[in-house]
Amino acid sequence: MKAQEIREILKQELGAIAPEVDLDTLDGEEDLRDEMDIDSMDFLRLTVALGKRLNTQIPDEDQGRITTFDSLLSYLIKRSGE
Amino acid sequence: MAFTLIEKSSEQRTSQPNLPAYQSGDSNPQACQIDGLPGGAINIAYEAVDRHLTKGLAHKDALRWHGKKGQRCTYSYAQLAEQTSRFASVLDSLHLQPGERVFGLAGRVPELYIALLGSLKFGAVFAPLFSAFGPEPIRSRMEIGNASVLVTTERLYRKKIQPWRDQLSCLKHVLLLDVKGELPSGCHDLSEQLVQADPLFPVARTAPEDMALLHFTSGTTGKPKAAVHVHQAVQHHIRSAYYALDLQPQDIYWCTADPGWVTGTSYGIIAPLCHGLTLIVDEAEFDPRRWYQLLQDEAVSIWYTAPTAIRMLMKAGDTLPAEYDLSQLRFISSVGEPLNPEAVIWGDQVLGLPFHDNWWQSETGGIMIANYAASAIKPGSMGLPVPGIEVALAKRLPEGKVEILPGNDVTGELVIKAGWSSMFRDYLGQPQRYQSCFSQGWYLSGDLARRDADGYYWFIGRSDDVIKTAGHLIGPFEVESILLEHPAVAEAAIIGIPDPVAGEIIKAYVSLHSGYSPDEVLRLSLLGHARKHLGAAVAPKEIAFRENLPKTRSGKIMRRLLKARELGLPEGDISTLESDEK
């Protein structure tokens, strides 16, 4: 899957969790939970939804590596290429 | 399914437990004494910080903070005393009067802890707010609490306060704790003010019954309630932590609760500092690897956390903890909602220690029922009353009376003999609501429980419609009111539905005005509307459309019926049902 497609899927799933956020103005290097006001439960649902869409698993122990939009996107690109 | 009793062995212990054998009476040990101030005054900040300076703890770490980006900083008791005096001095320079309300809205940063203790030191009343609240819960709480001062961050201010700040006439000052660029108009730069403030500002000689803290909680109906707590509550904070958390001077202590909730204040700040412990604070959100790393690196010995977090750790796997050295841990406990027996046992098998569940509420101010270090645990049980606290089960009778149910193997509403020091003293501005919580000298908790043949208490449920999600109590009214503000919504009802991690999650049922279609676009619009106003912690996670919601003859929506149907449970008495769900 191309990086652009993964980016779109990530945006769609973020939009499903926090539809009030304008994703175009998101700072990709800031803490995603602060930027989008998502809590631990939202984050859990997000990783489950992304895992399903991208046919991969996002282990809970990797949470510390995916705290920003950019780091989450890079992570997903890497995982879907594995 | 019955779970095996977890017995304790004295061989496993690294120290003698504070309560070697359970007893219901309080022996008032030396470690639980407060120092007090001249003239019979009591001030929580003095007991937590300043009194330690003359007892050899001035240079001991009081607080070790870990930032989101890997930063670490420490405050000794002497530094904490200085910083809290400086904060009190800032309030003085703003001409604040003792008794005025200071609200805190920030993540877990040291300045928030300093603001809380500094406010108490000054004699002001501190009201913590959860930083994941949206603008509406923040505003309604600041209105109810008559906020004079708000301490917050620039980001939270701009996002959640600034748009309506001018409409809150009681709010005199906003102190921003992290100003980097241009100061927003009408705000103060707290860091700048602290530098100029008096490092020796004296502790206010507050009377034992002077108001100290406001903790907001929710009921089924009406707006949030501000539970009033007084300075002498510190006596129960100290005593309950001594018995139920087994706090001892050498302990490194980590309470994962946010100070925006009562646990994060009573046991995240006040009790451990009063015992002269070193407190760990982590700014970051839950991350299993980070948590185990922190437990290891800081050699945490006492850990107080919550069921949602424990279940997330269980989900992250049994092999992860083995990668870390957790040998310093000696006592682990949980609060927020009943801890399922599987989680208690998981702790015992995977971490080598069982979780000790305990029970209390914002209204009780401190732990009332607990499992103890030296006592056997019945997994899934709340445990036994804290020594000195009288707990009973009661049946409500007409005209506000109660009947206390004698003996064991009984089920009823948990009630507590009124008069303990951390008992709430009022719901601010709602005296009748406060009075209705008491009958014949008992505080009526609204929680249903069973007492077994050995005197252990078991949580059964709430007697009202409030929802416990991720350990946070959410009132339906606050959520439903916001949903009803959406132009499409005709009726709204909120229930809690079971969730394997959060305990319950909030589900909304809505019926629509004519002309609106129950489609995905509208669902997202409603979800966004709720999140924008309420914040992630309070907004529903699921929304279902209905043509009509079940109502009584008087037009009251029957949430109980929605919940029974959602869970496939018996519908119970539906004689008052007038208009059914469609």
* Contact criterion met (CB < 8 Å) for A63 and B532: no
Q: What is the DSSP letter of A61?
A: G
Which CATH number covers residue A54? 1.10.1200.10
Is pLDDT of B1 > 60?
Answer: no
Q: Among A18, A34, A64, whose Cβ lies nearest the Cβ of B531?
A: A18
Nearest CA among B546, B541, B480, B484 for reference residue B507: B541
Residue A82 is predicted with a pLDDT of 62
Residue B568, SS3 per DSSP:
coil
Backbone angles phi, psi at B574, to 5 degrees: -120, 30
Q: Tens digits of per-residue pLDDT, B119-152?
A: 999 999 999 999 999 999 999 999 999 999 999 9
Residue at B138: amino acid letter: I
Q: Among B155, B288, B536, whose Cβ lies nearest the Cβ of A63?
A: B288
Residue span of the structural domain in which A74 resides: 3-81
Round to whole Å and give the CA distance between B505 and B543.
11
Residue B390, SS3 per DSSP:
coil
C-alpha separations of A11 from A16, A24, B308, B523, B551 in Å = 9, 9, 27, 18, 39
Q: With contacts defined as CB-CB under 8 Å, which chain A residues touch B483? A: none
Q: Tens digits of per-residue pLDDT, B171-187?
A: 999 999 999 889 999 99
Question: B285, B323, B523: which to substitute to probe chain A, counting the most A Cβ within 10 Å?
Answer: B285
In a domain, B218, yes or no: yes
Residue B133 is predicted with a pLDDT of 93
Are B325 and B392 within one domain?
A: yes
B171 min Cα distance to partner chain A (Å): 25
Is pLDDT of B397 > 70?
Answer: yes
Q: Which residue of B has its CA nearest to A21?
A: B528
Nearest CA among B261, B437, B504, B242 for reference residue B362: B261
Asked if B287 reaches chain A (Cβ–Cβ under 8 Å), the answer is yes
Are B220 and B263 within one domain?
A: yes
Is pLDDT of B12 > 80?
Answer: no
Side-chain-side CA neighbours of residue B385 (13 Å): 20
Q: With contacts defined as CB-CB under 8 Å, which chain A residues touch B68? A: 31, 67
B468: confidence class by pLDDT, cuts 50, 70, 90: confident
Backbone angles phi, psi at B404, to 5 degrees: -80, 130
Angle at CA of residue A72, ends A70 and A73, nearest 5°: 65
Asked if B308 reaches chain A (Cβ–Cβ under 8 Å), the answer is yes
Are B288 and B402 within one domain?
A: yes
C-alpha separations of B118 from B53, B200, B216 in Å = 16, 12, 20
| Average pLDDT over all residues of chain B | 94
Asked if B323 reaches chain A (Cβ–Cβ under 8 Å), the answer is no
The answer to whether B582 and B512 are in contact (CB under 8 A) is no
B32: confidence class by pLDDT, cuts 50, 70, 90: very high
Across-strand partners of B281? B65
Asked if B59 reaches chain A (Cβ–Cβ under 8 Å), the answer is no
Are B443 and B524 within one domain?
A: no
Q: What value does the mean pLDDT take over residues B351-371?
A: 97
Which CATH number covers residue B435? 3.40.50.12780
Angle at CA of residue B351, ends B349 and B353, nearest 5°: 80
Element (H, E) at B217: strand B211-217
Nearest CA among B429, B504, B478, B444 for reference residue B218: B478
**Chain B residues 485-544 within an 8 A CB cutoff of chain A:** 499, 501-502, 505, 524-525, 527-529, 531-532, 535-537, 541
Q: What is the DSSP letter of B581?
A: -
B214 min Cα distance to partner chain A (Å): 24
Residue B273, SS3 per DSSP:
helix
Q: Which residue of B has its CA nearest to A34?
A: B132
C-alpha separations of B131 from B73, B159, B261, B343 in Å = 22, 11, 10, 28
Q: With contacts defined as CB-CB under 8 Å, which chain A residues touch B285? A: 33, 39-40, 43
The answer to whether B143 and B165 are in contact (CB under 8 A) is no
Dihedral (CA of B395, B396, B397, B400) sign: positive
B345: confidence class by pLDDT, cuts 50, 70, 90: very high
Is pLDDT of B424 > 60?
Answer: yes
Question: How long, in residues, is chain A?
Answer: 82
* Contact criterion met (CB < 8 Å) for A38 and B505: no
Residue at B100: amino acid letter: E
* Contact criterion met (CB < 8 Å) for B528 and A20: yes
* Contact criterion met (CB < 8 Å) for B531 and A39: no
* Contact criterion met (CB < 8 Å) for A61 and B288: yes
Are B247 and B163 within one domain?
A: yes
* Contact criterion met (CB < 8 Å) for A60 and B134: no
Q: What is the pTM of this model?
A: 0.91
Q: What value does the mean pLDDT take over residues B24-46?
A: 94
In a domain, B370, yes or no: yes
Are B357 and B492 within one domain?
A: no
Round to whole Å and give the CA distance between B330 and B517.
57
Taking each helix axis as running N to C, give the angle between helix A40-53 and helix A3-17, from 0 to 180 degrees, rounded to the nearest 10.
Answer: 140
Asked if A11 reaches chain B (Cβ–Cβ under 8 Å), the answer is no
Question: What does the longest C-alpha to C-alpha distance in chain B come to?
Answer: 72
Element (H, E) at B443: strand B442-451
Round to whole Å and give the CA distance between B347 and B342.
9
Residue B301, SS3 per DSSP:
coil
Element (H, E) at B542: strand B542-545
Round to whole Å and give the CA distance between B505 and B471.
10
Is pLDDT of B10 > 70?
Answer: yes
Q: What value does the mean pLDDT take over residues A12-29?
A: 92
* Contact criterion met (CB < 8 Å) for A61 and B529: no
Round to whole Å and give the CA distance between B141 and B53.
36
Question: A17, A20, A75: which to substitute to probe chain B, counting the most B Cβ within 10 Å?
Answer: A20
Asked if A51 reaches chain B (Cβ–Cβ under 8 Å), the answer is no
Residue span of the structural domain in which B520 resides: 467-579
Q: Among A34, A41, A67, whose Cβ lies nearest the Cβ of B505?
A: A41
Are B420 and B558 within one domain?
A: no
Residue B248 is predicted with a pLDDT of 97
Q: What is the DSSP letter of B161?
A: I
Asked if A26 reaches chain B (Cβ–Cβ under 8 Å), the answer is no
* Contact criterion met (CB < 8 Å) for A20 and B505: no
Domain end marker among B450, B480, B501: B450
* Contact criterion met (CB < 8 Å) for B285 and A43: yes
Q: What value does the mean pLDDT take over residues B159-178?
A: 96
Q: With contacts defined as CB-CB under 8 Å, which chain A residues touch B531? A: 18-20, 37
- Count other Cβ atoms within 10 Å, centred on residue B95: 9
* Contact criterion met (CB < 8 Å) for A61 and B531: no
In a domain, B429, yes or no: yes
Asked if A42 reaches chain B (Cβ–Cβ under 8 Å), the answer is yes
**Overall domain count for chain A:** 1
**ipTM associated with this complex:** 0.93
Asked if A25 reaches chain B (Cβ–Cβ under 8 Å), the answer is no
Nearest CA among B344, B285, B350 for reference residue B67: B285
A76: confidence class by pLDDT, cuts 50, 70, 90: very high
Residue B342, SS3 per DSSP:
helix
Round to whole Å and give the CA distance between B94 and B112.
18
Which CATH number covers residue B549? 3.30.300.30
**Chain A residues 52-71 within an 8 A CB cutoff of chain B:** 59-61, 63-64, 67
Backbone angles phi, psi at B435, to 5 degrees: -60, -35
Q: Tens digits of per-residue pLDDT, B251-269?
A: 999 999 999 999 999 999 9
Q: With contacts defined as CB-CB under 8 Å, which chain A residues touch B312? A: 40, 44, 60
Round to whole Å and give the CA distance between B202 and A6.
58
Are B238 and B156 within one domain?
A: yes
Residue B523 is predicted with a pLDDT of 96
Radius of gyration of chain A (CA): 11
Residues with Cβ within 8 Å of residue A40, at least 6 apart in sequence? B285, B286, B308, B312, B470
In a domain, B21, yes or no: no
**Overall domain count for chain B:** 2
Side-chain-side CA neighbours of residue B574 (13 Å): 18
The two counts, helices (H) then strands (E), for chain B are 16, 30
